[in-house]
Each structure stands twice: as structure tokens, then as C-alpha cells.
Amino acid sequence: MTARSVPSRCPFSFAALFFIGIAAAGLTGCATVTSPEKRIAADLELFHSQSEKHQDLISRGQVIEGMSKDAVYLAWGRPHETKQSSRDGKARETWVYYGSEAVPVQTVGVSMGYGGGYYAPGCASPFYDFGYQYANRDYVAGKVEFEKNQVVFWERNERR
């Protein structure tokens, strides 16, 4: 009696899928408003040109009204998007930062197989597989509005 190999319904091994998932997570990242240490180290002169109060806030990755664009750059980094607008007749620039989060998506898989199926032995029978996968979804992680190079509004959206 010889052993029959049963073909797998999935062409990838679990290990291959695991490493693909790890690589994808590393490439996409999770948070977009990053820590300021590298930016401060890269431009110490710009950091030291800020007030002591702003230096403390920048070091902690915080933004407040009255900060300059340079201070916001040091605290939160380069924005993903900039927008020009006006409010009450005053020109504004908005910096937008995006983040990415994994959200579960329900999946349904259908395949056909042969054997002692539900309909009749030796006939093709459908197999249904229900489960979840994760998809990345972008969201607005933060916004900063400037008038005359100073912050007049900011918001940060931290997902948990």
C-alpha cells in the first residue's frame, strides 16, 4: 500500500506567508508621525534656534499653537501632503500626516474537490472556507494649520 499525497489547497507554505507578511508590515509601517530624535540629531542648529519651551515640546514629539514650521518639522517630520487655503481672508497652509492601520476583512473561499462529498461519492463537491485577513487602511494621523509661518491649529489622531 502506497501513501497518496493530498494536494494542498494553498500554493504557499505557512512559513512563506509568514515572511511575506513580516516584510509587508516592515515596508508599510504603522505610524507616520515619527519620533523626532533623528531629525534633531540631523539639524542641531535648527533645534537650538527654537525657544527652550519649544525644544522641550519638540523632544517629546508635541506641537502647540505658536510654533514655527521648522519646529513642527522637527517634532512631527515632513508632511505627506500640504494644502493651501484661506479662512477669514487669511492665507493658510495645512500639513497633513497619514498613518496606516491593519483592519480585519472577512474572507470566503470556495474550491471544488473530489471524493465522498455531500452530493454523491466520487463527484465534485464545493468546499467553503470562512476566515479573516488583514488589509492596511490609511487614516489622517495629524494636521497642522499655519498662518504666517505659525501654528494656529493642530490635531493628532492616535489609533489604539
pLDDT, tens only, 111-124:
666 555 555 555 55
pLDDT at 148 (0 to 100): 95
Which of 34, 31, 82 is closest to 58 using CA atoms? 34
pLDDT at 109 (0 to 100): 73
Model confidence at 30, pLDDT cuts 50, 70, 90, reads: very low
Model confidence at 83, pLDDT cuts 50, 70, 90, reads: very high
Which of 24, 132, 50, 144 is closest to 94 using CA atoms? 144
Q: Count Cβ atoms within 10 A of the Cβ of residue 35 and give its class: 0-12 exposed, 13-18 middle, 19 or more buried.
A: middle
User: Cα 46–81–73 angle (5° rounding)?
Assistant: 15
Which of 141, 143, 120, 117 is closest to 128 using CA atoms? 117
